[in-house]
Amino acid sequence: MRIADKELGSRLILGTGKYASFELMRSCHEISGAEMVTVAVRRVNLTDRSKETLLDYIDRDRFMLLPNTAACYTEEEAVRTARLGREAGLSSWVKLEVIGDEKTLFPDTEALVKATRTLVKEGFVVLPYTNDDVVVAKKLEDAGAAAVMPLGAPIGSGLGIQNPNNLLLIREAISVPMIVDAGVGTASDAAVAMELGADGVLMNTAIAEAKDPVKMADAMKRAVFAGRLAFEAGRMPRRLYASASSPIEGVVGSSTIS
């Protein structure tokens, strides 16, 4: 899929959090076929200078880093974090999060739109994590977002696509890519997101908290592929009543009633 000036060979974007080990994370990334992974921006731990760090396990020739502004609750915090992320990663892409509620981690959309506008003006390629409200999605696109990333369900909830109709509305209303971000729990959720017309899916917990994360990463790769194919194939219509698949004539023993 194409986002801004970049052509990505995979429609799956993965996170780097919650894995039992960096080694496991790397295996999952590799099998998934993803070409972009998100990272958080945090203070360096100056007391625990363990030798291994996250970046040792991400091949930057293979995976593009997408810094996020997770745990930012204001426009100022998010913009500051985004700027730091750009300087640390030497790339101006950012997954913009401005959180509005600690329990649900739903976005503060008012601050999100403002932060998007600010960062776009500073030359960032902004991918905002948002809710599934088409009005907000349009505002984000108008503010210059390179893609819009509506949630399927709360971050880390694994509830799947809660409001498929809202995602259809967003798909219809915006021209930039729509990437479903948050709430995917298993492979069918990812397939559903793609069948609704999403250009891509971003997930972290669904893989990191699976019992066999590598297997789940493989499943997700296939699910995104299958869902996209099904979308492109154009599904059959839904019907209230049955529509027989086998001919109704010629059944042995049948007779016409005159």
* Residue positions annotated with a catalytic role: 95
Does residue 26 interact with other proteins by CB under 8 A?
Answer: no
- HEC sequence for 100-115: CCCCCCCECHHHHHHH
Question: Shortest gap between Cβ of 31 and other proteins (angstroms)?
Answer: 18
Scanning 160-212, the segments in alpha helix (DSSP H) are 164-173, 187-195, 205-208
Does residue 137 interact with other proteins by CB under 8 A?
Answer: no
CB 190 within 8 A of CB 153: no
Q: Residue for token digits 């959720």? A: 189
Structure tokens at 210: 């699976």
The binder of other proteins chosen from 32, 130, 166, 205 (CB under 8 A)? 205
| Closer Cβ to other proteins, 54 or 173, answer by number | 54
What residues does 128 pair with on adjacent strands? 96
- Report helix, strand or coil for 121: helix
The binder of other proteins chosen from 8, 10, 24, 83 (CB under 8 A)? 83
Question: Shortest gap between Cβ of 229 and other proteins (angstroms)?
Answer: 26
The binder of other proteins chosen from 41, 96, 136, 219 (CB under 8 A)? 41
Does residue 44 interact with other proteins by CB under 8 A?
Answer: yes
CA 246 to the chain's CA centroid: 40
Does residue 54 interact with other proteins by CB under 8 A?
Answer: yes
Does residue 160 interact with other proteins by CB under 8 A?
Answer: no
Does residue 158 interact with other proteins by CB under 8 A?
Answer: no
Q: 90-129 mask for other proteins (x: CB under 8 A)? A: ----------------------------------------
Phi and psi angles of residue 67, each rounded to the nearest 5 degrees, phi first: -65, 140
Does residue 236 interact with other proteins by CB under 8 A?
Answer: no
Return the amino acid letter for 107. Answer: P
Residue 186's CB is within 10 A of a number of other CB atoms, namely: 15
H or E element in which residue 14 lies: strand 12-14
- Dihedral (C-alpha) 12, 13, 16, 19: value to the nearest 10 degrees? -20
Does residue 67 interact with other proteins by CB under 8 A?
Answer: yes
Does residue 131 interact with other proteins by CB under 8 A?
Answer: no
Does residue 159 interact with other proteins by CB under 8 A?
Answer: no
| Closer Cβ to other proteins, 206 or 223, answer by number | 206
